Amino acid sequence: MGDEETLYTITEADLDSGLRGVPVGTCRTSYVDPIEGVHYVGYPVGDLANLEEEDVIYLLMHKHLPTPEESKAFHAELAQRAEGIPTGALRVLESLTPGSGHPMDWLAIGIMALGAADTHARRPGNARADSMNLISRMPELMARIFLLRGGRPGELRPRKPELGLVENFVHMLGVEGAVAKRMERMLRFFFILHMDHGGGNLSTFSGKAVASGRASIYVSIASAMNALSGPLHGRANQACLEFVQRIGTSDPDEIEAFVRSELAARRPIYGFGHGVLRAEDPRARLLIELGEEICPDDENFRIVTALREVVPPILKEIPKISNPYPNVDLASGSLLHSVGFHKPDYYTTFFGWARVAGICAQILDERSARDGRGTPIYRPKYIPREQPHRRLE
């Protein structure tokens, strides 16, 4: 024990800091390089962005890209599990008032409902089956959320899981033709770029912490989605498009004046900065390149590209800002809007849908860690603060 390497020294400044930067475990699925960005099982995410999303899920779960035979079998398993969704599993969503709550509330409720309907979900040793069931059924859950919350239940089309995850979702929404192809292209790209992000982000860590108590995959992922729903985490892509729409112009001088006024009022500049990266997020560059392909003349996208040029020099003037560069949220909302999703409050559900696969893969890794014994239940230590001595009279 005495020869073990010291990874980190805890100081007083580390207390009440949200565990920021404090090592607590290992992650086999992904890591974030401060300059080169997100890597999945060693691959830069840009190398994977144009693959089929099912093959990237396979990579995260199995730690290697599938052979053609493995890919075919994996696709078939997902399709078969999607067809096996229990009858009435999502009926609870029909009892919710259309337009009520945030879509992320509906997403967490839907995942819990899928778990309640899955008779195998609470049996030990079924974490992989539960993960595959949930991943395969997410397209139907997402489609039902969009149509039921929007007050359009009659527009839901019968599932066709053999089409693929994203394609099945678009089909169930009733989108067809060239519009569907463009929507599928954007969603596949988005899905892969958002699928995993190391082990320490709030939603992933929350899901793994709940799972460490041997809670079911469904309960754990619902907890992760609730963590993702906050404005400081997954809801940032919604806030970023709303920020872009508030600007309303791609004129560089007007953007600079707007940004400086926001900074003077101590309001956030959305779409810039990152907790780990110290360069432009490669995912931001990839999404902007996709935007140049699918919506180069879209007004929101033109504002995004102007922000990319105008904002970093302004933020560099502020000494405490260590990363003035664009992050993945800068362009994601404008691209979702450009392909037909015009309500920003739904955008975090896409983020959550993408992240389900990565969090499931990490939970499976933790369940098999330490030679199969699994990661122990999470139990961080809190230091008591000095308090006055008191007695009841």
Active site residues: 233, 274, 329
Q: Which residues pair with 38 in a beta bridge?
A: 32
The CA distance from 110 to 95, in Å, is: 12
Q: 3-class secondary structure for the chain? A: CCCCCCCCCCCHHHCCCCCCCCCCCCCCCEEEECCCEEEECCEEHHHHCCCCHHHHHHHHHHCCCCCHHHHHHHHHHHHHHHHCCCCCCCHHHHHCCCCCCCHHHHHHHHHHHHHHHCCCCCCCCCHHHHHHHHHHHHHHHHHHHHHHHCCCHHHCCCCCHHHCHHHHHHHHHCCCHHHHHHHHHHHHHHHHHCCCCCCCCHHHHHHHHHHHCCCCHHHHHHHHHHHHCCCCCCCHHHHHHHHHHHHCCCCHHHHHHHHHHHHHCCCCCCCECCCCCCCCCHHHHHHHHHHHHHCCCCHHHHHHHHHHHHHHHHHCCCCCCCCCCECCHHHHHHHHHHCCCCCHHHHHHHHHHHHHHHHHHHHHHHHCCCCCCCCCCCCCCCCCCCCCCCCCC
Query: From CA 112, how far away is CA 108, in angstroms rounded?
Result: 6
Residues 38, 284 contacting (CB under 8 angstroms): no
Q: Which of 368, 90, 81 is nearest to 211 (CA)?
A: 368
Q: Please name which of 61, 35, 339 lies closest in space to residue 196, comparing C-alpha atoms.
A: 61
Dist. CA 10–CA 20, nearest whole Å: 11
Q: Residue with structure tokens 């093959």?
A: 55
Query: Could you tell me if residue 198 is left (phi over 0), alpha (psi between -120 and 50 degrees) or otherwise beta?
Result: left
